[in-house]
C-alpha cells in the first residue's frame, strides 16, 4: 500500500495516518494527491473506488519530479517535492457510480511517485484503497556479503533493486522508458545474475534471442526482441564477449556450441570493413561505445560515437574487434572449430600491431582515439589493457598513468566504468576499487533508490538503468577476489583487493555449489578462510605469492 502523502490539494487533507484510505472526495471537487512509494518499483497499481458517477480519475506515475521552467528536463534531489512539478505516464478512468469498482492496468507501471487526481461531478466518490502488486523475474539473491561497511551495503542494496527492476520476461535497459533488452547493457546484467543469483535462465534466453536477431549480413540487432531495426556494431562484438562470459562462468558448453556459428558470422561481417592493416574503416550504423561524462574533447564523442580519424578508423572500435577475436579463438579451440583458431589469432596479432603503431603516443605514453593523436580517452586506454595491447610488464605503470592523467582524458560514463574498473584492477590497482564509486555515492546523495542512466543526475532521462549495477559484480570479483580461472568455472582464482577493509566475508553461487571466503585482520596477521565446491581446484593470490587450493575448506594465517 502507498501510504505516504507528500502533497494534497483541493480539500482538507486527512489527518496523518498509517492508513489514510478510504477517503471521500465530495461532489464537484478536484483533488490532487501526490503519493510517495519511497523507493522505485515495478508494480501493477490497483485503485478501488465507489460511487461518484461520472467522476474522472487519473493515476500518474513518475520516477522523479521536475524543476519548473526547464521543459521537464531537469530533476531535483529525488526526495524533494516542494516547488517541483509532476509529469508522467497516466492512466485515466471514469467512474460509473457503482460500488466496489476496481482498476488495474494491463501492464506494470514503474514509479516512485504516484499522482492521483479526482474530479467529481454531482455525487461524492470514495477511494477505498490504492496499492501496487510488485512484479519482476523471480531472481533470488543467493550471494552473501558480510561487512560493517555501510557504503558497500547500500550500494549493493540499490544495485540489486536496479537489477531486479530491469529483469522481467527479458532483461531491460530501463523499466520506465523503452523496456528493451539492449545487448551492451545485457552483457553486464547477465554477470550480475551469475554472481548475485546463479540463475542463468534469463541470460540464456538473452543469448538465444540475440542469436535469433542476426540479420542477413551476420550482424546482431542492438536490442531484441524489437520490431525496429537498430544496429550498434560494437554491441555485436560484445555479444561474443557475452558468450565468453557464459563459457567461463557457467558449466554448459553444449549450450554455446551452436551459438559459435553466430559469432563467426559477426566476425565475417567485420572483415568487409577492415583495411589492409586490419583496422576497421568506418563500418556503417550507430557506432555507439559510451556517452562520455566530460573531459577535454568529449564533445567529439557525439551521441556516444567515438571520433574517427582521417583514415576512417577508431582505436576503441579496433580494440573491440581485437577483443572479439581473442574471445572467439579461445572458445573455438575448446568447443568449436579449432581450424579457425590460427585465422583468428593471425588477425588479432595483426590488429594488435596496427593499434600499437597507429594510436600509441610516445609522449603521453597512452593510446589516442585516432591516428591524429589529438584526443585521448579512458575508454580507449581501458580497452588497451583489457585486450592485452599493453604488455604485462608495462601494465602497472600504464594503469597508473590512466589515473594520474584522468583530468586530461575523456571520461567514462556509468556503464563503461565497468570496463575502466576491470582495466585498473588488471593493472594492479584493485585495492583502490572502493574509491572509484563516486558516481554511485552521488546517486545516493541525490535521493535515488536505483541507479541512473548517466552520471549527470540533473538531466538523466532514466532513473533506473540496469547497466549501473556492476558494483554488485565487483564486490565479489574484485573486493572478495572470487573469479573464474577456467571454462565452466572449473578452476577458481581468489585474489582479494581489500583496500582498508579488515573484516569481510561472503559467498557466491557456483555451478557446483558455493564459493566462500573470509578475511579477518588481527594482531598484524590475516586469517583467511576459503571454501571451494566439489570437483574444482583453485589458486589464492596474496601479495605476490600464489597458494594452491583444493576443493573443500582451506585456512591460511598469513
Angle in degrees, CA 136, 137, 141, rounded to 5? 100
Count how many Cα atoms sit within 13 Å of the Cα of residue 129 in the half-sphere of its side chain: 10
Share of the chain above pLDDT 70, in %: 100
Name the helix (H) or strand (E) containing 23. strand 23-25
Share of the chain above pLDDT 90, in %: 97
Mean pLDDT, residues 509-530 taken together: 98
> Is 14 a residue whose pLDDT tops 90?
no
Rounded to two decimals, the pTM is 0.97
The per-residue pLDDT for range 389-448, each reduced to its tens digit, is 999 999 999 999 999 998 999 999 999 999 999 999 999 999 999 999 999 999 999 999
Short-list 108, 112, 88, 130, CA closest to 39: 112
| DSSP letter for each residue of 397-426 | HHHHHHHHTGGGSBPP-TTTHHHHHHHHII
CB 45 within 8 A of CB 105: yes
**pLDDT for position 191:** 99
Burial class (CB in 10 A: 0-12, 13-18, 19+), 93: middle
Could you give all domains of the chain from N- to C-terminal order, each with its CATH number? 4-134 (2.60.120.260), 137-256+437-477 (1.50.10.10), 273-429 (1.50.10.10), 494-557 (2.60.420.10)
**pLDDT for position 513:** 98
Output the CA–CA distances (angstroms, integers) from residue 132 to 44, 78, 102, 108, in the order listed: 5, 20, 13, 9
Q: Report d(CA 84, CA 71) in Å as an integer.
A: 12
Q: Which three cell numbers stand for residue 547?
A: 597458494
The per-residue pLDDT for range 455-489, each reduced to its tens digit, is 999 999 999 999 999 999 999 999 999 999 999 99
Mean pLDDT, residues 171-177 taken together: 98
Q: How many helices (H) and strands (E) does the chain have?
A: 13, 17
CB 529 within 8 A of CB 553: yes
> Is 332 a residue whose pLDDT tops 90?
yes
The per-residue pLDDT for range 192-230, each reduced to its tens digit, is 999 999 999 999 999 999 999 999 999 999 999 998 899
CB 417 within 8 A of CB 478: no
Q: Report d(CA 434, CA 445) in Å as an integer.
A: 17
| 21 band by pLDDT with thresholds 50, 70 and 90 | confident
Q: Report d(CA 242, CA 260) in Å as an integer.
A: 12
Short-list 406, 399, 407, 401, CA closest to 424: 399
User: What average pLDDT does the structure give for the chain?
Assistant: 97
**pLDDT for position 237:** 99
Burial class (CB in 10 A: 0-12, 13-18, 19+), 12: exposed
| 1 band by pLDDT with thresholds 50, 70 and 90 | confident
Amino acid at each position: 500500500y502507498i501510504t505516504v502523502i507528500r502533497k494534497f490539494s483541493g480539500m482538507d487533507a486527512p489527518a496523518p495516518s498509517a492508513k489514510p484510505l478510504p477517503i471521500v472526495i465530495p461532489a464537484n471537487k478536484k483533488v490532487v494527491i501526490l503519493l510517495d512509494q519511497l523507493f522505485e518499483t515495478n508494480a501493477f497499481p490497483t485503485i478501488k473506488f465507489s460511487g461518484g458517477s461520472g467522476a474522472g480519475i487519473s493515476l500518474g506515475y513518475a520516477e522523479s519530479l521536475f524543476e519548473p521552467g526547464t521543459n521537464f528536463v531537469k530533476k531535483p534531489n529525488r526526495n524533494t517535492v516542494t516547488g517541483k512539478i509532476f509529469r508522467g505516464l497516466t492512466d485515466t478512468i471514469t467512474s460509473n457510480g457503482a460500488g466496489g469498482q476496481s482498476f488495474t492496468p494491463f501492464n506494470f507501471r514503474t514509479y516512485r511517485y504516484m499522482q492521483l487526481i479526482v474530479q467529481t461531478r454531482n455525487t461524492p466518490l470514495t477511494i477505498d484503497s490504492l496499492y501496487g502488486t510488485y512484479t519482476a523475474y523471480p531472481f533470488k539473491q543467493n550471494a552473501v556479503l558480510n561487512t560493517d561497511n555501510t557504503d558497500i551495503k547500500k550500494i549493493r542494496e540499490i544495485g540489486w533493486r536496479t537489477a531486479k527492476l530491469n529483469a522481467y520476461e527479458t532483461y531491460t535497459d530501463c523499466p520506465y522508458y523503452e523496456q528493451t533488452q539492449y545487448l551492451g547493457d545485457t552483457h553486464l546484467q547477465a554477470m550480475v545474475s551469475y554472481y548475485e543469483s546463479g540463475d542463468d535462465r534469463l541470460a540464456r534466453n538473452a543469448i538465444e534471442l540475440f542469436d535469433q536477431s542476426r540479420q542477413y549480413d551476420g550482424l546482431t540487432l542492438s536490442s531484441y526482441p524489437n520490431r525496429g531495426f537498430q544496429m550498434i556494431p560494437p554491441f555485436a562484438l560484445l555479444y561474443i564477449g557475452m558468450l565468453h562470459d557464459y563459457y567461463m562462468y557457467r558449466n554448459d558448453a553444449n549450450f554455446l556450441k551452436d551459438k559459435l556459428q553466430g559469432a563467426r558470422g559477426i566476425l565475417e561481417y567485420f572483415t568487409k570493413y577492415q583495411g589492409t592493416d586490419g583496422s576497421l574503416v568506418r563500418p556503417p550504423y550507430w557506432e555507439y561505445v559510451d556517452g562520455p561524462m566530460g573531459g577535454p574533447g568529449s564533445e567529439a564523442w557525439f551521441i556516444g560515437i567515438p571520433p574517427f580519424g582521417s583514415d576512417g578508423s577508431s582505436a576503441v572500435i579496433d580494440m573491440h574487434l581485437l577483443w572479439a577475436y581473442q574471445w572467439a579463438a579461445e572458445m573455438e579451440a575448446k568447443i568449436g572449430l579449432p581450424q579457425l583458431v590460427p585465422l583468428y589469432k593471425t588477425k588479432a596479432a595483426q590488429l594488435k600491431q596496427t593499434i600499437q603503431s597507429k594510436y600509441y603516443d610516445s609522449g603521453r605514453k597512452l593510446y589516442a582515439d585516432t591516428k591524429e593523436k589529438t584526443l585521448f580517452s579512458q575508454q580507449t586506454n581501458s580497452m588497451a589493457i583489457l585486450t592485452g595491447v599493453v604488455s604485462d610488464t608495462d601494465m602497472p605503470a600504464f594503469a597508473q598513468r590512466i589515473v594520474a592523467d584522468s583530468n586530461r582524458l575523456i571520461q567514462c560514463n556509468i556503464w563503461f566504468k565497468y570496463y575502466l574498473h576491470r582495466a585498473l584492477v588488471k593493472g594492479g590497482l584493485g585495492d583502490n576499487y572502493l574509491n572509484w564509486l563516486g558516481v554511485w555515492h552521488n546517486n545516493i546523495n541525490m535521493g535515488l533508490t536505483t541507479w541512473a542512466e548517466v552520471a549527470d543526475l540533473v538531466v538523466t532521462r532514466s532513473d533506473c538503468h540496469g547497466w549501473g549495477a556492476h558494483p554488485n559484480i565487483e564486490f565479489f570479483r574484485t573486493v572478495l577476489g572470487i573469479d573464474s580461472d577456467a571454462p565452466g568455472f572449473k578452476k577458481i582464482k581468489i585474489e582479494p583487493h581489500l583496500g582498508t577493509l579488515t573484516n569481510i566475508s561472503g559467498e557466491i553461487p557456483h555451478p557446483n555449489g558455493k564459493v566462500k571466503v573470509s578475511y579477518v585482520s588481527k594482531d598484524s596477521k590475516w586469517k583467511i578462510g576459503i571454501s571451494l565446491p566439489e570437483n574444482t581446484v583453485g589458486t589464492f593470490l596474496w601479495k605476490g605469492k600464489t597458494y594452491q587450493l583444493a576443493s573443500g575448506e582451506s585456512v591460511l594465517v598469513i
